Amino acid sequence: GFAKVDHHRKKRQGFPEVVFGEGKTAEQIISIIKALRAKNNQVLVTRISKEKAEFVQKACPEFTFNDTAQILFWKTEAEGNSHGYIAIICAGTSDLKVAEEAAVTAEVLGSKVRRIYDVGVAGLHRLLNHLEEIQNATVSVVVAGMEGALPSVVGGLVSHPVIAVPTSVGYGANFNGLSALLTMLNSCASGISVVNIDNGFGGGYNAVLIHQL
């Protein structure tokens, strides 16, 4: 009917189709995740509200909901890379939601994660206190709103790839995250690539692809 679930994806891409919860009804989500659960050993729904998630959980009680990340998931067994980890770094308290979307995505898809939060550039010593832990990661996901300068600073301090995630945190000339997005695309540091504004999922997913090479 309304959806053609891409069952071929796990074979083609390593991970099953991830469900974008926004704009789907709870009923639609239930019907899609039942189909996915039958053929995969992980199922991930992003951007799903607490209310919708709880409704879905009644029909699918084996699913877990993470409230900060707004992610509903199910996972049978540990797969993925057992050595190394992904550093998830964020600039301010308000970027937490997006950072957690990245972190939970990465964990459900089988990667180990270390969280280094509220270490924005206006107080550099906070970042430098965690330098070694960051430098030892296989890949970093750096989440920042407002002016979004943190990925440039991290990118200049590490030798691994940095995935930058701009957030819509800010006001006025922030233009809902445009400011942070442009900052990250124009970074002087060389090893940075960027995903969409507030796309914590994309940040986590790309990091997993790199971590699991």
Ligand X SMILES: Nc1ncnc2c1ncn2[C@@H]1O[C@H](COP(=O)(O)O)[C@@H](O)[C@H]1O
Residues 124-163, mask of contacts with ligand X (x by CB under 6 A): ----------------------------------------
Question: 3-state DSSP call for residue 4?
Answer: coil
Task: Pick between residue 159 and residue 190 the one whose CB is nearest to ligand X.
Answer: 190
Report the alpha-carbon distance of residue 116 to residue 100 in Å, rounded. 11
**Among 72, 125, 132, 137, contact with a second copy (rule: CB under 8 A):** 125
Q: Which stretch binds Mg ion (CB under 5 A): 39-47, 77-85, 86-94, 137-145?
A: 86-94
* Tokens representing residue 18 in the block: 């991830």
Report the alpha-carbon distance of residue 193 to residue 34 in Å, rounded. 34
Q: Phi and psi of 71, rounded to 5°?
A: -120, 135
Residue 158 is a binding residue for a second copy (CB under 8 A): yes
Report the alpha-carbon distance of residue 185 to residue 2 in Å, rounded. 36
Report the alpha-carbon distance of residue 27 to residue 66 in Å, rounded. 20
Residue 58 is a binding residue for a second copy (CB under 8 A): no
**Chain residues 105-124 in contact with Mg ion, contact rule CB under 5 A:** 118
Residue 174 near which of Mg ion, ligand X, a second copy, none (CB within 5-8 Å, type-dependent)? a second copy
Report the alpha-carbon distance of residue 117 to residue 194 in Å, rounded. 19
The site for ligand X (CB under 6 A) is made up of 17-20, 46-47, 92-94, 122, 188, 190, 199, 201-202
